[in-house]
Amino acid sequence: MASSRSAMLQVMLVVAAALAAAPCVLSDPSPLQDFCVADLKAAMAVDGFPCKPASTVVDDDFFSALMVAAPSTKNPFGVNSTRATVSVFPGLNTLGVSITRTDLAPGGINPPHSHPRGSELVLVVKGEVMVGFTTSTNLLYSKVVKENELFIVPRGLQHYQLNVGTGDAVFMAMFDAQSPGLVVPTLGLFATKPAMPMEVLTKTFLLGADEIDVMKSKFVGF
């Protein structure tokens, strides 16, 4: 019995040593083929869409002109984003990358939000944009980013972009995920279906129901 326990202990030590020596991999696994163009007509599977048959893949599956046109920023926030994720750009499937163009009117803001499945690299291509993110310990890191400058936002952290220049601003946000996801706290509180229970909102914001109703009215239609 003692020898059996000793053998088991040795096995556990070997496994522990192997796990300690293994590199920590935080990125998507390497593809098993040259490409896997998404079959957007199929139901989405775990970590991506099924592949189209190679015989049906065409040049345009790897091309997108989504970033060319500037979207309208005529809304209360003065912002609009054009997202090239796998759901509209099938060639991205399984490759672990995507990109978003965001336009900001003067004074426009991309309100605090997070991307649960991707880190974000911001490249300002026009104007001056204040980019900031908060950590799990409520620290704020912020910087005014000018044309051709970069700012990184770690995965899952809440962040914002504010146009602090005198004219329109444009930035490209590059992600290490084909579908980084988007969580906007204000919409998650005031624009849910069904509505968030009033008691939750009044106790969260330490406000009365009438004040909460005023806040909710600002997000009708979002």
Confidence of residue 25 (pLDDT cuts 50, 70, 90): very low
Of 194, 195, 191, 215, whose CA–CA distance to 205 is shortest?
A: 215
**Domain locations along the chain:** 72-88+95-181, 186-217
Residues with Cβ within 8 Å of residue 188, at least 6 apart in sequence = none
Q: Which is more confidently placed, 29 or 67?
A: 67
Q: How far apart are CA 198 and CA 212, in angstroms?
A: 8
Question: Tell me, what amino acid is at 19?
Answer: L
- For the segment 192-213, what is each residue's pLDDT rounded down to a tens digit? 999 999 999 999 999 999 999 9
pLDDT at residue number 33: 79
Mean pLDDT, the chain, rounded, equals 88
The CA-CA-CA angle for residues 67, 72, 76, to 5°, reads: 130
pLDDT at residue number 6: 60
Confidence of residue 221 (pLDDT cuts 50, 70, 90): confident
Provide the CATH number for the domain formed by 72-88+95-181 in this structure.
2.60.120.10
Q: How far apart are CA 203 and CA 209, in angstroms?
A: 10
Q: How far apart are CA 21 and CA 4, in angstroms?
A: 26
Q: Is 84 exposed, middle or buried (0-12, 13-18, 19+ CB in 10 A)?
A: buried
Residues with Cβ within 8 Å of residue 16, at least 6 apart in sequence = none
pLDDT at residue number 2: 54
> Residue 99 is encoded by which pair of tokens?
């990109």
Q: Write out the DSSP string of 76-132.
A: TT-EEEEEE-TTT-GGGTTT--EEEEEEE-TT-EEEEEB-TT--EEEEEEES-EEEE
Task: Tell me phi and psi for residue 134, to 5 degrees.
Answer: -115, 150
The CA R_g of the chain, rounded to the nearest whole Å, is 23
Q: Tell me, rounded to whole angstroms, the distance of Cα 148 from its chain centroid.
A: 21
- For the segment 39-79, what is each residue's pLDDT rounded down to a tens digit? 998 876 767 789 999 999 999 999 999 999 999 999 999 99
pLDDT above 90 for 22: no
- For the segment 163-182, what is each residue's pLDDT rounded down to a tens digit? 999 999 999 999 999 999 99
